[in-house]
Structure formats: structure tokens, C-alpha cells
Structure 1
Amino acid sequence: MYGGLKSLLRCIDTAFRTILDVVYPPMCASCHRRLTSSEQGVCVFCASKLVPYRSERWHAEERLWSVPAFRNLYSIYVYSKEQTIQEAIHAYKYHAYASFARMMARRAVLTLPLFEGGYDLIIVVPTTYQHILDRGYNQALIFAQYIAKALGEVEVSDQYILRDERAKSQTLLGRWGRQQNALGHFYCNPRKHVDLSKRHILVVDDVLTTGATLCAVLSLLEQSGAKHIDVLTATVAV
């Protein structure tokens, strides 16, 4: 009976998505052209302009080495001044282009060794409730949920680490400003204060810039007992 219910729900979900695609045709997150049935997130033309992240070239993991529990950085694309990736991330971050998040998650699972991590907990880098109210969602949480589903329904939470509502946005700050702004603006949720020493943790965020935010989050997880933490970001600023 349970299997039959799952099949029914899957059919309903497919039908609902089909109706949405007719009423609201999926558009490219970058150039906003209507996507074909074989395209997801971005059109073929824009996809060809996205640059895959390569650790041997950019070494962005060095930005997180200050936290002993940090082990591996995985990322999908390079975030640069090139307009295509900027437009796509902006659409995903501020205009709920979930299809781009789904496309990135699919690429991450297919091209990165995420299955080897044996993760049983995915922690999302927190944002403020005001940002969620303004945007209507947490973009990193959407990305993380797609990753968790692909890995086999791994627990996902944006509640282990919280962000002070008074914290300034990092967007317009330089490297030094980001580092200072991140200090003290994150804290462990007292309701989730548990021993993480036996958990296999993957921390997920949308963009790695200076690493200040991620280092603050990783340090708090380490203080809660985490001994081995991997990080997955959709993009890395270079």
C-alpha cells in the first residue's frame, strides 16, 4: 500500500509540474530565454559559458584551512565577472530559480565524489529571517535539499547554526570586512546543541568568497564535536 501511495504522489507531482511548465514556461536563469524540454536551469548556449571549478587551478580550499576539522571543498562552478554565471546565480539567489539549483545539484552528484563521504547530516549556512522574508526562501537550503534527495534522503538542517539578525550583509564588504563581520555573528542553536562527533557532516552554501562565513560556521561545528567536515558550494569566487 505504501508503494502504491508513493507512486500516486509521484504521478500527482509530475502532473503538477507539467501544468506549471505550461502556465509558467521554464526560463534560462541567465538569458531568460524559454528552455526546451531537454534543458534545465540554463539554456545550452549559457551552459557552455559556465566554467567548472578545478581545485588544482584555484586552490580555494586554502581559504578554509584555519579550521582543523575541515577536510574537503567541493564546488561546481567558478563565480567570476563573466555575465552568464552572475545572472544565473542572481536569479537563483533572489528570484527563486529552483530549476538552476536542481541542475547544479544534479551536476554535483554526477561529477563530485559526494557518495564517498557517507554523509548523514547536511548543514546549510544560515541566513537571517529577514532575508528569508524578503526573498521568500533560503536559496542554500533549496540547493541542499536537492543534494540530500540525490544522496538518499540525508537529514538537512539550517537550524544547527543560526545567524544574528543584527549581522550586516557580506555582499558589499571586502576581505577584511567580511572576516570581521563574520566574527560573533553566528551561534549554535541551543535547541540543537548536540554532540556531533559521530556525524558525517557536509556543509552547503551557494558561494565561497573569502571563506570568512564558512570558517565561522565550521568553527562552531568543530566546537560541537565535529571532527571531519566537508564543504560543498555551488560556486567559488576567483
Structure 2
Amino acid sequence: MKQAPHSRQPPLVLIAEDEGEIADILGAYLARSGLRSARVADGEAALASHRQLRPDLVLLDVQMPKMDGWQVLSELRRRGNTPVIMLTALDQDVDKLTGLRVGADDYVAKPFNPAEIVARIQAVLRRSARSEAEDSTGVIRQGPFEIDLRSHEVTVRNDHQVHALDVTLTEFRLLVHMARAPRQVHARVDLLHACLPEGDAQERTVDSHVSKLRRKLEDVGVIGVPATVRGVGYRFLD
């Protein structure tokens, strides 16, 4: 007699929030939506719990004791690609750009509607699941792009036509890196470390490669990709 396969547990959300009442509300809404949660009240505990629990997503408050949210986010990005949604009372564009630059997947300003938070969490988890599935097949599909990680081939669908894009190795690395998080703002310094060979030590080199890549995309009818985020870097898709 065959045993029933083990069902996968619901996603686990790590709530890093020092205001107990807010954490209680978020935990209740997550449970009502079928998601598991764990709670911590300071930045050091957030990092320790992330390593121990390996959550599917971190809900991260900016203003926390011991280590603030930006410091925690920077360390999480050094560790890997766990999705992160920032929570903050600072509703200013500069704060949002800081979070996106360091690598947040989304950003919500307080006060917020808990139901909206849950909806955003579910959306980020769906995007993350799609990215994992694409990586397992060796193909990334974003917008009009299809990027084959094994053959290093890039195709673009535009106006019912399929174009093969002739890209250099560095341009391919840039495309892959940005396509994996298409709506995240990618800072020049991050692209420099992730995509360029060791000899390319200047951030302006990133601009040169992106400019050449953009011209190749314009030749096949894709305009404004990657998009420039002034003073920060680039976003792959709006």
C-alpha cells in the first residue's frame, strides 16, 4: 500500500517588528490566510532566526533595536535571495529607494492595512516561486525576454516576431541578474560586483555596458530597457 506523499507546509513568514501590537495583528492575518509566521523584536534576533528557521519571506521593520532594518537587509542579501518586504513609518521616496537599492522586494509605509500586507506577501511569494521554477528549467522568462542559462541564448518576442539577441558575456550576465528581480532597482555597485569581470573596477563601466545592451534592444523594438533610476541604478522592467 502506497503512503500518501507528505504535503508541503505553508510558507513561513518571519515578522521582524518591535511593536508587539503590530506583530500580533500581522500574525493573526497571516494565520487567517493560511500562512505560518514567527516573530522577533530586534535586528540581531531577525538574523539569528533567519539562519535557524529559513523562512520563505521576511517582513522587516526599518526602525528596530540593536540592528536597524537596513543593516539586517544588507546581511540577508549577502546570505542569499530570501524575499524581503520592508515596513517603515518613513514615507519618503529616498527611504523607499534605499530599501530597493539594498535589495528589498517591496516596501510598505505605516500605517498600513494588514490585509494589503498579506496580499503583497502572497504576490512576492508567487514571484519567488516562479523564479525558482524558471531556474530549475534553466530558462528565465520575463516580459518579452526568454533567457536560456545553459546555452547563453537570449530571445526577444516583439510584434509577433522572435529576435535572437547577440550579446556579450557581460551583457548576458547583466540581463540574467536583473531579470531575476525585474522590478527591483539594481544599484550600479551591485551590478559591478555581480556581473562584471574583476578588471572592470569602475561603476561607469556598468553604464557603458548597459548603454550598449540598450541599443541592441532598441534595434529589435524594445525601448527603455533597462530603465534608468536616477542616482541609483537600473530597473529591468517597470
Query: What TM-score comes out, normalization by structure 1 length?
Result: 0.32
Relative to its length, the structure with more strand (as a share) is 2
Query: What TM-score comes out, normalization by structure 2 length?
Result: 0.32
Rg larger in structure = 2
Q: Higher RCO, 1 or 2 (CA under 8 Å, sep at least 6)? A: 1
